[in-house]
Structure 1
């Protein structure tokens, strides 16, 4: 979901063209929202693994077409197959949990809890990447978890499986972010995108087959013709979201572009209200804002150090 963002943070001060950054970030925000709606429409007919298989297959076709048309097929050569596999196991798990959560809880809650992925990165990066665990990082991590408690409110309301899945998805995606950060030091973006889609096609096919056997269905579930447009939306919007994020952070400092990403929360809350009758919960907005603020402070501090 947000791996392109992590691969490009932070950018040097003065890296301008904020209008272009805003345009690319708007594309990312709309694409993430479209993917969530498409996932909600599909989850009643397809399990998350089938959705992931469809998404990855479409993505692989598009990436392969771009590589062929531009004559850049050689960029897919890699000396780090194990790193690609590990990254995609984390991403596939996180994205599958994300699609499950989309079908179980409100879209706004899913997005608010998804914003905790950078908080988990801040907590785990000192262990896995050797980064320093500073006082600022400790404070912003604590603030991020406070935001989670505001969104979920355990002990006040019942915590549903969708919220647990969304939080687990954020943890998996944080591992994906850290591994993407490592890969981006040596691998071109198209190489990362190719192996992401190729590996996840295989993972999706394996999990769909296992699910069919375990459930006794015998054959994997396939989308009916009425749902094919939503399958296409999932596949295309997933790639467009990553492209939009990557381009946005190339045209402006993270401290300029990142706040626009938070617009996903109110936008998807309104979509959930209009399309699915979901209640606009002020606690979700408050908790999401706290999580975003914690992330933004980390981005701002990183930008100051890089400057």
Structure 2
């Protein structure tokens, strides 16, 4: 999880460096294009049978939502202070909780609703609507978080019948043509060191995604969620070093509030999942009456 989190943080830095020459939409295309090159070895490992699916339409819908998240997220990384853009992105789990109620029929009780409301209060602290320092660009970052939450919920549906590596390959494969159209509208052929930044964006993005999914297989979300906030530290340091960006107290305070809300939600979900498993195991030991 540490390696995946650092990879995502460095991807954000590579995106900002590439933005000196390229539009955020073109960077998104190259992230998908080079990301595909780095995930294709999964197909060699599993064989072409991995790509068989009856859910192609659902993949297309999931990838379209994910593309909105990517385009909006990359735009925010380019136009907002790095730490602020990343901090707002951590509202995604809050939207996932809301979506799980609406789309998955999950039951969320008072304490988790309270954590969600506190988390969104943290988002408002970062964005400061009505203040002189408010940036409309922060709404784009919030859109990216909302779209990312919807994409995460769609993955929950797909994971019921699809192999995790198949989801990664299909997603990246479909992102390439989807990202091509907005990229063509703002196309500038990369030159010089910009090629390094866009290749790194693809490698770090795909590598971080694979590390993240594997971490979630090895440990509970309640343990891993605190580690994921290391990304704010990574982009904060590089933002200060490379782009002379200071992390203001409002971003720190809002990020801390969102952090606390996400920790509570993750631990609560893990505790409930363990209780559900225990109840099933106890039920399995009770003999069925004749």
- TM-score between the two structures when normalised by the length of structure 2: 0.90
1:284 aligned to which of 236, 241, 251: 251
2:106 aligned to which of 131, 145, 152: 131
Residue aligned with 1:29, SS: helix
* 2:188 maps to 1:221: yes
> In the TM superposition, what is the alpha-carbon distance from 1:52 to its structure 2 partner?
1.7
CA distance in 2, matches of 1:162, 1:155: 14
The residue aligned with 2:269 is 302
The residue aligned with 1:235 is 202
Structure of larger gyration radius? 2
1:82 aligned to which of 57, 63, 75: 57
> In the TM superposition, what is the alpha-carbon distance from 1:293 to its structure 2 partner?
1.3
Distance 1:71 1:263, change over 3 A: closer
Residue aligned with 1:225, SS: coil
The residue aligned with 1:272 is 239
Residue aligned with 1:155, SS: coil
The residue aligned with 2:221 is 254
* 2:159 maps to 1:184: yes
Aligned positions of 1:120-159 closer than 5 A? 120-159=95-134
The residue aligned with 1:4 is none
CA distance in 2, matches of 1:155, 1:49: 29
> In the TM superposition, what is the alpha-carbon distance from 1:162 to its structure 2 partner?
2.6
CA distance in 1, matches of 2:32, 2:273: 35
The residue aligned with 2:7 is 31
> In the TM superposition, what is the alpha-carbon distance from 1:287 to its structure 2 partner?
0.7
CA distance in 2, matches of 1:121, 1:249: 16
The ranges of structure 1 where at least 4 consecutive aligned residues each deviate by more than 6 angstroms after the TM superposition are none
> In the TM superposition, what is the alpha-carbon distance from 1:183 to its structure 2 partner?
0.9
2:28 aligned to which of 29, 36, 52: 52
CA distance in 2, matches of 1:56, 1:42: 15
> In the TM superposition, what is the alpha-carbon distance from 1:151 to its structure 2 partner?
0.8
CA distance in 1, matches of 2:132, 2:61: 36
The residue aligned with 1:19 is none
- TM-score between the two structures when normalised by the length of structure 1: 0.85
CA distance in 2, matches of 1:71, 1:269: 39
Structure 2: which 5+ residue stretches go unaligned? 275-290
93-102 vs 125-134, which moves further: 125-134
Check the 8 A contact 1:27/1:240 in 2, yes or no. no
2:171 aligned to which of 172, 196, 203: 196
> In the TM superposition, what is the alpha-carbon distance from 1:76 to its structure 2 partner?
1.2
> In the TM superposition, what is the alpha-carbon distance from 1:71 to its structure 2 partner?
4.3
Aligned length: 274
> In the TM superposition, what is the alpha-carbon distance from 1:159 to its structure 2 partner?
2.0
> RMSD value over aligned CA atoms?
1.4
CA distance in 2, matches of 1:118, 1:142: 12
Residue aligned with 1:32, SS: helix
CA distance in 2, matches of 1:296, 1:272: 25
The residue aligned with 1:263 is 230
CA distance in 1, matches of 2:79, 2:28: 17
